[in-house]
Amino acid sequence: MTNMYYNQDINENVLDGKKIAVIGYGSQGHAHAQNLKDSGFDVVVGIRPGKSFDKAKEDGLEVATVAEAAEQADVIMVLLPDERQKQVYEEEIAPALKAGKALAFAHGFNIHFGQIKPPADVDVFLVAPKGPGHLVRRTFEAGAGVPALFGVYQDASGTARETALAYSKGIGSARGGVLETSFEEETVTDLFGEQAVLCGGLTSLIKAGFETLVEAGYQPELAYFETLHETKLIVDLMYEGGMAGMRYSVSDTAEWGDFVSGPRVIDADTKARMKSILEDIQSGKFAKEWIQENEDGRPNFNRIEKEEAGHQLEEVGEKLRAMMPFVAKGLKKEEEVTAGATN
Ligand SMILES: NC(=O)C1=CN([C@@H]2O[C@H](COP(=O)(O)OP(=O)(O)OC[C@H]3O[C@@H](n4cnc5c(N)ncnc54)[C@H](OP(=O)(O)O)[C@@H]3O)[C@@H](O)[C@H]2O)C=CC1
Ligand SMILES: CC[C@](O)(C(C)=O)C(=O)O
């Protein structure tokens, strides 16, 4: 397959004797740092004092301030929230950049939308796992890997591409396959995927289904099982065998319902709205509004997050999941329990 690379295609020696600074220890940061360390690379985590700093230390990683880690490292992977990267870059990372170093990202947002403008004498690349960071770590520990995209924005050294590939092997992504892309393609498609399908599309679909059943007088618990809980089981089948794999396992009645009713839910109008979402991302409109929302102190983000957490589906789900010890607690709950235990 063109543009796809796997472990056996990649020589990681380009990173021999090099130090990698992982800046940030959140969802992606903890996974990259731990996977790289377990793959035998020399890693330092750059982080401000606080929860993440303490966690990285507890996990046995070398920890430093962002400025110190950037100073020591040959490769600096920026895994801070997108909306914080510009400020931290300007204050603590840029002063450490010099010829021969590489600046890396897991998402092209700040480079593509011109928020960060690196000097011409450093390599700039991205390695963007196509999955949540907690699963980048979980799958690595299980001997597998989350596929990733990699791309080079600037190749000052002549080896940026090899470095990006070696890095993707180090985090385990080349076990699943890494696909070459550009910053523009990664940024636009990642934003589109999370808005229209993976996060926005899916939550809106599930919520609409749940509300339709509850408003028609059906039990909320039943509506939760039908629209959220079973989604995971159906998606697992698609993950393993595509849509045909899922359709093999469900009843013919369900498959017929899928064929005749699916297109009534997602129709040409939905696709037209998806196209308009894509256009807002391509034109920079979405990025401009998100940057502004952060500059204003996130009034809408905070309000909507609170409203969503109070939805009936979330309340019912929490009670039902508490009765199913075999369902993982959920990462948010797990963190609350850990924090509670140490307080
Ligand atoms: N979440 C994901 O799975 C994916 C994310 N990405 C990309 O990866 C990057 C990181 O995202 P994500 O892992 O979600 O981020 P998180 O929000 O999970 O983690 C952010 C980390 O940055 C730290 N941090 C925040 N502000 C500062 C600061 N001012 N100075 C120093 N450290 C700071 C936080 O520490 P503290 O505890 O102190 O707040 C935390 O350790 C983004 O570019 C994102 O687009 C790409 C693919 C998937
Ligand atoms: C789907 C959300 C994501 O793009 C991801 C986990 O890949 C993100 O930015 O968190």
The pLDDT score that the predictor gives to residue 341 is: 31
Task: Give the side-chain half-sphere CA count within 13 A for 271.
Answer: 4
Pocket test residue of 28, 198, 202, 235 for ligand 2, highest count of atoms within 8 A of CB: 198
Q: Is the CB of 133 under 6 A from ligand 1?
A: yes
The residues, any chain, with a CB within 8 Å of residue 138's CB and separated by 6 or more, are none
Q: Which two tokens stand for residue 115?
A: 């928020």
Which of 107, 112, 134, 229 is flagged as catalytic?
107
Q: Report the 10 Å Cβ neighbour count for 229.
A: 16
* Of 32, 45, 79, best ligand 1 pocket probe by most atoms within 8 Å of the beta carbon: 79
What phi, psi does 124 have (nearest 5°)? -135, 120
289 lines ligand 2 (CB under 6 A): no
Q: 131 C-alpha vs ligand 2 centroid, how far in Å? A: 6
Say whether 148 sits in a helix, a strand or coil: strand
Cα dihedral 33, 34, 37, 38 sign = negative
DSSP 8: G
Report the complex ipTM: 0.98
Q: Which residues are annotated as a binding site for Mg(2+)?
A: 190, 194, 226, 230
Ligand nearest to the CA of 110: 1
Whether the Cβ atoms of residue 232 and residue 318 lie closer than 8 Å to each other = no
- Binding site membership of 107 for ligand 1 (Cβ less than 6 Å): yes
Q: How many other CB atoms sit within 10 Å of the CB of residue 282?
A: 14
Largest CA distance in the chain: 66
pLDDT at residue 330, as a whole number: 74
Estimate the share of the chain in helix, then strand, then coil, as percent rounded to the nearest 5. Answer: 60, 10, 25
d(CA 300, CA 323): 34
For the CA of 190, the closest atom of ligand 2 is 4
Is the beta carbon of 77 within 6 A of some atom in ligand 1? no
Per-residue pLDDT tens digits of the chain, which is 343 residues long: 689 999 999 999 999 999 999 999 999 999 999 999 999 999 999 999 999 999 999 999 999 999 999 999 999 999 999 999 999 999 999 999 999 999 999 999 999 999 999 999 999 999 999 999 999 999 999 999 999 999 999 999 999 999 999 999 999 999 999 999 999 999 999 999 999 999 999 999 999 999 999 999 999 999 999 999 999 999 999 999 999 999 999 999 999 999 999 999 999 999 999 999 999 999 999 999 999 999 999 999 999 999 999 999 999 999 999 999 888 777 776 665 554 332 2
